[in-house]
Chain A
Amino acid sequence: MNDTPLLQVSGLVREYALPRPHPFAAAPRLRVLHGIDLAMAKGDSLAIVGESGSGKSTLARSVLALERPDAGSVRLDGMDLFALSRRELRAARRHVQAVFQDPYGSLDPRQTVFRIVAEPIAALEPRTARGERRDRVAAILQAVGLPAAAAEKYPHEFSGGQRQRIAIARALVTRPALVVADEPVSALDVSVQAQVLNLMLDLREKLGLAWLFISHDLGVVRVVTERVAVLQHGRIVEQGRTADVLAAPQHPYTQALVAAMPRVRRRG
């Protein structure tokens, strides 16, 4: 039995420098994350919810080691991501991948789907043989519900939902243990959103993936995650099982978020 959590975020602090009020003043600093602690086990699904400016995307970028925190640590399978050498970090990136909000902006329009999906293999596991690359791309395209012929096409030939499937395929091709998804369905139509959410649920069941799901949408969070942490002004103000938090929110901010969810009134 391995007790090391898959992801352990401890005391994470991130500050940004603001413009100097005048040339000789020290730049004031804005603290966007005030000591965040989080843990995820293998196969977990955790949502970070909060509104614009709550720090949720900064947290996501720190977990992806795209931003270095001012204090605190991010451990993946026990390894401190910010204590690793460049080479070690590169190796670690195979295990944590990302899916972003905009399926139009996150795919290079000049590359075929095959190149897009194979890129993480080329970058992170360059010694993979060509045949294996092909097989793995084909397998992952199939797993996300795209036809094999998709590999030779370009992103503009696909709808928004299909593009998000391509982005998910790219994230999964290195067989990561953790996928950080930053608002992966908020740019999609309701029916397409349902397809992508179901795909995420299926992949978690099939591959034992852990999802760190960043969202402002509590309705979506309720469907795809088991646990939720509510972020406000860079602090986690409430966390727990998603069903419990949404049914009986304790913190006033969570209560306001739950109350503001648009609901369809159905009077018979």
Chain B
Amino acid sequence: MMLRVEDLTVALPMRGQLVPVLAGVSFTLDRRDSVGLVGESGSGKSMTALAIMGLLPPGARVAGRVMLDGRDLLALPEPDLCGVRGRRIGMVFQEPMTALNPLMSIGAQVAEPLRLHLRLSRAEADARAARMLDRVGLDPARISPHRYPHQLSGGQRQRVVIAAALACGPDLLVADEPTTALDVTVQAQVLALLADLAAETGMGLLLITHDLGVVSQTVANVLVMYAGRVVEQGPTDSVFGGMAHPYTRALFAARPAESGARPVQIPGQVPDPLHRPPGCAFAPRCSRAEPDCGQQAPTLAGGGPHRAACLHPHAAS
């Protein structure tokens, strides 16, 4: 197994105390595999990605293990981590404008990791950067590698970010809301490009998104997160085919329906980390909650790969 995240737990300093923001996240991701983390703001999905890459804010306390090909990334010193990020793990974030350096040509930005990590010569790096840009759909004959980010559209910029993330041929790509800032038609193109590249290079894909539609179309396995915990996880078809956790169902019902019917609201709001209720964090908003839900946070249960952390789950339909 390439990536094995075991019982990942993160606490951040807030108002003078360490507040748990992520608890007991575990999953595995192999080469040629894809995992989606889906949830609303505050669910911990981005925090999971940052913890994996060792990019947590100062003062954060991390526990658990993040094993990449047998090495625990959480135990690596920063200089070693720098050799992992960009080289073994590629990263794509939401905002293609802030992820790119406005003062550097796009070709130079794709060539930079090649020079830094692979120690290629300038000419070699430039040639390979041009090939990468071509591969992500930016034909150097039409869009010169000498252009600057501001001369490109949002979708083109995100392609540059993807080219830079994949330049060194990483084993794992972490994409945090890579298409959220893009138009729908461009989003569809970028998602298709990511899936193609993953299939072509055999890298693993960790996709973070708030969009159930995006996740169901792009990844093989999904983790649904709420208030810092995984509430349901399993193969994408199995999870969406038989949603067991009431939160997964509620999230699904809150989407604008294909029928045009009114979305079903989830009462209340996501609790902030300082005020998470005891027991199941979703219980106060849950229509199926029973008194025992407030006692103890349920753990992921269920035989097989599809599991839900709920004391009163929906039966698979």
A residues whose Cβ falls under 8 Å from a Cβ of B: 51-52, 159-161, 189-195, 197-198, 201, 216-220, 222-223, 242-243, 256-257, 259-268
Contact = CB atoms under 8 A, between A and B. Distances in A.
A192 B269 contact: yes
A95 B208 CA distance: 42
Interface stretch (B21-29, B125-133, B194-202, B237-245): B237-245
Interface string B216-231: 1100000000000000
B256 interface: yes
Contact of A257 (B185, B256, B266, B269): B185
Given A190-B210, A264-B240, A266-B240, A218 B263 contact: no
Nearest to B41: A189
Interface of A is mostly: helix
A195 B216 CA distance: 24
6 contacts: A51-B186, A52-B154, A192-B40, A198-B263, A262-B214, A263-B217
Contacts of B261: 223
Nearest to B243: A266
B255 A195 contact: no
A259 B43 CA distance: 29
B188 A260 contact: yes
A184 B205 CA distance: 32
Contacts of B260: 222-223, 242-243
Contacts of A256: 185
Contacts, number: 107
A268 B256 contact: no
B292 interface: no
Interface residues of B, number: 39
Contacts of B184: 51, 216-218, 257, 260-262
Contacts of B264: 194
Contact of B250 (A191, A217, A263): A191
Contacts of B214: 262
Given A216-B184, A242-B260, A262-B187, A194 B213 contact: no
A55 B154 CA distance: 16
Nearest to A201: B262
B193 to A, nearest CB: 14
Tell which of A159, A190, A198, A222 has the most Cβ of chain B within 10 Å.
A190
Contact of A198 (B210, B241, B265): B265
Contact of A264 (B183, B186, B216, B317): B216
Which of B185, B241, B256 has most chain A Cβ within 10 Å?
Answer: B256
Given A160-B41, A257-B184, 5 more contacts: A198-B265, A219-B256, A220-B256, A222-B258, A265-B236
Contacts of B217: 262-263, 265
B237 A197 contact: no
A3 B257 CA distance: 34
Contact of A195 (B212, B250, B256, B265): B265
Nearest to A259: B188
A219 to B, nearest CB: 4
Contact of B183 (A52, A159, A160, A263): A52
B269 A161 contact: yes
B187 A265 contact: no
B211 interface: yes
Contact of A194 (B211, B237, B240, B266): B266
Contacts of A257: 184-185
